Structure formats: structure tokens, C-alpha cells
Structure 1
Amino acid sequence: MTALPATADNVLLAEAGEGTRVQFQGIEKSYGSNQVLHGVDLDIAPGEFVSLLGPSGCGKTTALRVLAGLESADGGAVLLGGQDVSRIPTNKRDIGMVFQSYSLFPHLRVDDNTAFGLRRRGVGKAAAAKRALDALALVGLEGFADRYPHQLSGGQQQRVALARALVTEPRVLLLDEPLSALDAKVRVQLRDEIRRIQLRLGITTVFVTHDQEEALAVSDRIAVMDAGRIDQIDTPEELYLRPATAHVAAFVGLSSVVPGVASGGHVTVWGRELPTNAPADGPVEVHLRPENLRFSGEANAAIGGVVEESTFLGSIRRTLVKTDAGDLVRVQHDAHQHPSFGDRVHLAIEPVPVAVRATGLG
């Protein structure tokens, strides 16, 4: 879908700004005796796209709801553009939000659904209609204004929900797993559209997802959450290549876990010494990325093993190998290599930094 020219023909594009700074300062939240957020600190630059990534129950949606004002924090402060909005209601925070469910009014046409927030703010009918059409054009639904939600596909309905969130020109856009109900192809298309629109508008965006591929694809930075805390916040490249913890290594990307022994900033695996940033000594669990393992001749190999399975993934293959040490590891390699079940192979390890966790830690 072609992007719209940044001219005054479209009010949203003509008034694109630089975004608003978003800050969490020691945010705490409990439900009864269950503490969901443990002093969360977060600083999002104006116009930045930050994803909150983590498994179910890690606190990411609660953090988003606190930012939106849908939940009140038990401690700490939420700042928008340097202003403490912790006690300001949702409708006064100037935030647009898109949920997993489309939440469209079934009895209203697409243009009226889109203009709903404007009309509630007292914008005149003609002005609201023009701005609704601008928002629909931005999400690629120019010709759908007079349809009803039941006449749209799931992806189109979510585009309407996005247009409705953007039409009020909010300072911050919040996205709560907005793609999880869509099929894979539509999900990728809409994901890319959201990123394109966000860049064009310059709007600060916080995106909640449990899908690491989505987060890696669209984010300027990703905050990986676990048990109500941020384990690491960094660029997608840094998170993947230099995970700060074993949890981050396990959640972002694919890893095989094998035993090793750490000492002095290095870890020994299968007789090979690898660098690690973790301050661990003694027995550890080592996270090996599949692209950092390769098939090798026996003379240069770290270990031998037997092929358990090999999966074709288009331009690459991933092959599961049971090593002579009893470990199961995945090797990512060229698709033209086609090892078969039971084949004897030998593996080498690229000397890149690895994430480790002390054995026995939860």
C-alpha cells in the first residue's frame, strides 16, 4: 500500500509532530496480595516506538493500562511530556488506544465509528467527517466509509479501530496486542502498516505483545518483562545479539540450552571456551543460538552427534541434533544441506558471546 504524501490535503499528516516523552517512575501495582508491577522504570523518547514484550502474566498489559489511566498505580508516577498524569482520568490524558478486540459499534457506519471520539469532544459534524476520512485514508480504507463493521474483514475492522485511535491526534498511541486475533498474513501486513503510519505521524507508541517476531520487526526498542519487572530494554539488535539475562535469551529468538562451566567472563561448552557477559562462576546453563552452531569436519568439531529431525523453512533449514553428551541442539544452516534422521554429524560453535544462567536458579 503506497504511503500518502505529507501535504495539507491530509490534516493528520500536515500536523505531524515529534511525539511526547513517556516516563514510568517506580510504578507499583498489586491486586490484593498479588504484586503485578515491582517498581517499573521506563523512559520513552518523543516519537519512539517501544514494545513491552513478555509471556502472559508478566505485567505488560497492566503497565499499559496504568499508562492509559484505566488502572491506578499503587506507587510511583506516570509522566507525559514531563507532566505527572497519575491522577488525571483517561479522557484527559490525550491518549489513543487500540485493543485486541476491535470494539466497534455495530450499528454505526465506518465513518461514524471513526469520528466517534471527535464528536464526543464537541468537534462539529462537517469537521469530524473530514478528519475521519483523513484517518481512514491513512489506514488504507478510503472507500469503506459507508460500510458497517459486519461488512468488513477482521483486518479491516482493526484498521478502523486504528483510524479511530489516530483521528483525535493523541499525544501517545497505545496498542494492546492488536494483531493477535488476525491470521498470519494479515497480521504481518497490518503490523507493517502500523509502523509506517507511526513513523509518518511521529507519534510516541507503546505496543504490548507476547510475539517476539512482531516486537523485533517494528520496535525502536523493546522492554522484555518478567514477573512484573523489566529484565532488559534495548534495540532489537542488542536484545538478540547481547541478551543481558538467560530469560531474555530464551524469550527473544530461539536457543538451545546446554550445560557449561563459567569462570572469569568465559564459559566452557563441549571443551570450547566462549565469551559471556554474565558475572557467573561454576556450573551454568548456556543458551546457544541455532545460527551460531554449524556442521563441521570431525577434526575441527567441538562435538559429534546424530540427527533427530530436519525442518525446511524456505531459505534455511533447522536441524535437531542429539549430541554425544546427550544435549538436544538446533543448528540453522543452508537449505541445500539436507541431513537425514540418523545421520552422524559433527558440530562447531562460533566464538560469539552467549547468555548463561547459574544452574539451579528459577
Structure 2
Amino acid sequence: MTSTDPLLHPLPRTADNPLISGADEGTRVEFRGIVKDYGTTRVLHGVDLDVAPGEFVSLLGPSGCGKTTALRVLAGLERATAGSVVVGGRDLSAVPTNKRDLGMVFQSYSLFPHLRVRDNAAFGLRRRGVGGRDAARRAGDALDLVGLGHLGDRFPHQLSGGQQQRVALARALVTQPRVLLLDEPLSALDAKVRVQLRDEIRRIQLRLGMTTLFVTHDQEEALAVSDRIAVMNAGRIEQVGSAEDLYLRPETPHVAAFVGISSPVPGRRHGDRVSVWNVELRVTGDGPDGDVDVLVRPENVRLQRATTANDEAAVGARSVGAVVEESTFLGSYRRTLVRTADGVLLRAQHAAGERLEYGESVHVSFVDQPVAVRPQT
């Protein structure tokens, strides 16, 4: 019996697809001191970013941090107050959007409801004066690349949300732009389709070798697909690095708190160490000595039942007592929230088979891994 689960269907064979055979090594993109003001409000504060040819870079941050504005400045949809955007060694700051040779996919599909899928995909080619037969052929190649070559005669309302976003991706790729810009293209999709399309976008990007900037507020998306991630906060880039760098070696408290899950625990910093509950841990990043919040990852929290008085004595010196508040089954693992006697809430991640019940008493200890800290507020 053939499965109908779309996640089990491989991408179509594309070895002979002209979009792949015509791919190059990508184009360098540079943000140089980009400042953007809206009236008296400054939303970008001197953004600098260098994206290597063929690199997939995500702009990651909470709503209002300036990531979409930065992308729109690159696309020419917004004019920078100061600074410049350079693509392939050319300053595009004064170049209109339609002359920048960039492909863009938005959160909304923005398809023309009265046009068939093939005509939607070919729209950019028609605007460039490409003839009907050639445009139809190239649109078919783009639709094949995203797995929709067989649906070219349908209208957008006859497609699912994921399929409509694939059409939007095909429309952006059909002109073979130098750079692909993706502005939260997956946020309107359900979780399963979002993961599938995310992975397909990455595989297509790798095959094309196209420089890509991807805006998202979803840390899991950014961690899964990016060569590097630029974490933004309040109009500034706080850190640029690989997923491993950002997660394991955050340079600022915002990066540590935003990338992954952390529980703040009171401690006291002294040099490159921090004392928390009679345990000393190494600290990432610089900062002054004094009282701090220690940001502890759930996988570095250990929970242990104390079943006898001897157990209590053995673990008490290097741990703290707590009570289970909730425990959530997440498939391959379980995440448990506990509250200490002094009211600190921590999340621990552990094996799915280690089930803890509400109200159960446990001891909390830490794995000896470097931690980020922030000043107590």
C-alpha cells in the first residue's frame, strides 16, 4: 500500500532541471551601517552583516526587533536613513526594487486568484518581457523544482496552504535571482507542513547554491536550516554565528534567553565563575561581578528522587529540594517544571520513561556546563 503522507514523499528528481544546471556560486550581500528611522523612532541602529556567496543566513528575533525592516531595506522596499546595502560588490542603495535582481517570498502567499498556478509562477518573467512559450517552460521548471509540476493548471484556491507557498517560492526562483529573500514564509502553515516546507526550502537552496536571507521569529526554524544566524534585538544584531555557537556560547543574555529554553536561577558571579546553590559553574561572556541570574538549559538540569534519609544526605550538599509542578510528554523526551522552596521555577529535560508526578519531591542539581548570566533586575 502506498503512503499518502506527504512527509514520506521525496522531492522530485531535479538533476536535469535548468535552474540547477544554471546555478552559480552565489552572491555576497553586505549591510554596511544600516540605520532606519520612521519619523523620530529609530528601528535599525547601524546594522552590519556580511553574507558569504551561497550562504543561508537567518535574521532571528522577536516581533519588532527590526529583522523584517532590514530585509525590506535590502529588497529596496524601504529606503535606509543611513548606510548602504551592497550586493555582488555593487551599492544598491539608490537602485529601485525591480532592478536589484532579488527574489522575495512573503508570509502571505500573494498569489493572483484569477491566474492558474503556471501563470502565477511565470508572472515575473512576463513582467521582464519573456515570451509566452519560453515563460511557460521556465515556469514549469520552477514548479518541478518545488514538486508542483503536475498542478500547473489549477487555480490557487484549489491548493493547500503549503502548496500555495510552494508556488510563491517557484515564482521567486523562476527569474534565477542573485539572492533569495524569505520573510517569515512558513508562519501561516500548520506545524507538520511548516517543518516539511522548511526542510524542502533548505534542500532546494543547497542545490541552487543561492545566497539566502531568511527572516523568522521561530528559533527552531533558524537552528534547523541556517549556515549562520544573526540574532537581533531592538534594532541591533547582538550575535552572528552557527546554531552551535549561539546555543552553546551565547555572547549576551538576550541571545542566551532567546535561543533555546533557559531557566533563570539566582547566583553570584566572581570572575569567570558563578556560584549557585553551593555549586560553581563556568560563565560564558564578560561582565561585572555581583548578583546575577544564571540561565540554565533544561538538558543541564538533573532531577533525582530522594527515597531514603541516606539519599537525602548524599545529594543534599550539591543540590536543592524542589516539588514537581508539571511534567509534559513530548515524544522522545519529557520536560518537567519544578519549584524550589524559595520559589525558583526550573525546567528539566529527561528521558520520556522517567515519569514524575505533580507534587512529588525531588532534588535538583546541574551538569557542569558553561552558563550565561545576566544582571539581576
* Shorter-chain TM-score range: over 0.9
Task: Name which of 313, 338, 342 aligns with 1:321.
Answer: 338
Contact 2:250–2:285, Cα closer than 8 Å, also in 1:
no
Larger CA deviation: 170-179 vs 324-333: 324-333
Question: Aligned residue for 1:172?
Answer: 179
Query: Aligned equivalents of 1:181 and 1:326: distance in 2?
Result: 38
Question: Aligned residue for 1:134?
Answer: 141
Query: Aligned equivalents of 1:56 and 1:5: distance in 2?
Result: 38
Alignment partner of 1:292 is 2:300:
yes
Query: Aligned equivalents of 1:171 and 1:216: distance in 2?
Result: 24
Query: Aligned equivalents of 1:109 and 1:244: distance in 2?
Result: 49
| Aligned amino acid, residue 310 of structure 1 | S
Task: Name which of 206, 217, 222 aligns with 2:229.
Answer: 222
Query: Aligned equivalents of 2:112 and 2:43: distance in 1?
Result: 32
Q: TM-score, normalised by structure 1?
A: 0.97
Larger CA deviation: 273-282 vs 138-147: 273-282
Question: Aligned residue for 1:233?
Answer: 240
Task: Note the C-alpha offset of 1:125.
Answer: 1.3
Deviations 1:27-61 (A, max 9, x none): 00010111000000000000101010111100000
Q: How big is the alpha-carbon RMSD for the aligned residues of Structure 1 and Structure 2?
A: 1.1
| Aligned amino acid, residue 290 of structure 1 | P
Question: Aligned residue for 1:346?
Answer: 363
Task: Name which of 59, 66, 73 aligns with 2:66.
Answer: 59
| Aligned amino acid, residue 91 of structure 2 | D
Task: Note the C-alpha offset of 1:6.
Answer: 5.3
What SS does the aligned partner of 2:199 have?
Answer: helix
Larger CA deviation: 9-18 vs 83-92: 9-18
Q: Between Structure 1 and Structure 2, how many residues are aligned?
A: 359
Query: Aligned equivalents of 2:196 and 2:24: distance in 1?
Result: 25
Task: Note the C-alpha offset of 1:325.
Answer: 3.1
Alignment partner of 1:193 is 2:193:
no
Which residues of 2 match residues 14-25 of structure 1 at below 5 A? 14-25=21-32
Task: Note the C-alpha offset of 1:17.
Answer: 1.2
| Aligned amino acid, residue 10 of structure 2 | T
Task: Name which of 153, 156, 159 aligns with 1:152.
Answer: 159
| Aligned amino acid, residue 143 of structure 2 | L
Question: Aligned residue for 2:6?
Answer: none
Task: Note the C-alpha offset of 1:228.
Answer: 0.1
Which residues of 2 match residues 43-122 of structure 1 at below 5 A? 43-122=50-129
Question: Aligned residue for 2:324?
Answer: 307
| Aligned amino acid, residue 202 of structure 1 | G
Query: Aligned equivalents of 1:122 and 1:192: distance in 2?
Result: 33
Question: Aligned residue for 2:376?
Answer: 359
Q: TM-score, normalised by structure 2?
A: 0.93
What SS does the aligned partner of 1:86 have?
Answer: coil
- Percent identical among aligned pairs is 69
Contact 2:12–2:147, Cα closer than 8 Å, also in 1:
no
Distance 1:248 1:66, change over 3 A: same
Deviations 1:215-251 (A, max 9, x none): 1111111111000000111101111111111111111
Task: Note the C-alpha offset of 1:71.
Answer: 0.3
Query: Aligned equivalents of 2:253 and 2:92: distance in 1?
Result: 35
What SS does the aligned partner of 1:310 have?
Answer: strand
Contact 2:338–2:345, Cα closer than 8 Å, also in 1:
yes
What SS does the aligned partner of 2:359 have?
Answer: coil
Contact 1:6–1:14, Cα closer than 8 Å, also in 2:
no
Contact 1:284–1:357, Cα closer than 8 Å, also in 2:
yes
Task: Note the C-alpha offset of 1:5.
Answer: 4.7
What SS does the aligned partner of 1:200 have?
Answer: helix
Contact 2:302–2:364, Cα closer than 8 Å, also in 1:
yes
Unpaired segments of 5 or more residues in structure 2?
1-8, 305-310
| Aligned amino acid, residue 111 of structure 2 | L
Question: Aligned residue for 2:308?
Answer: none
Query: Aligned equivalents of 1:113 and 1:342: distance in 2?
Result: 57
Task: Note the C-alpha offset of 1:326.
Answer: 2.1
Deviations 1:91-142 (A, max 9, x none): 1110000000111111111111101101111112111111100000000001
Query: Aligned equivalents of 1:4 and 1:144: distance in 2?
Result: 14
Query: Aligned equivalents of 1:326 and 1:179: distance in 2?
Result: 38
Query: Aligned equivalents of 1:157 and 1:89: distance in 2?
Result: 27
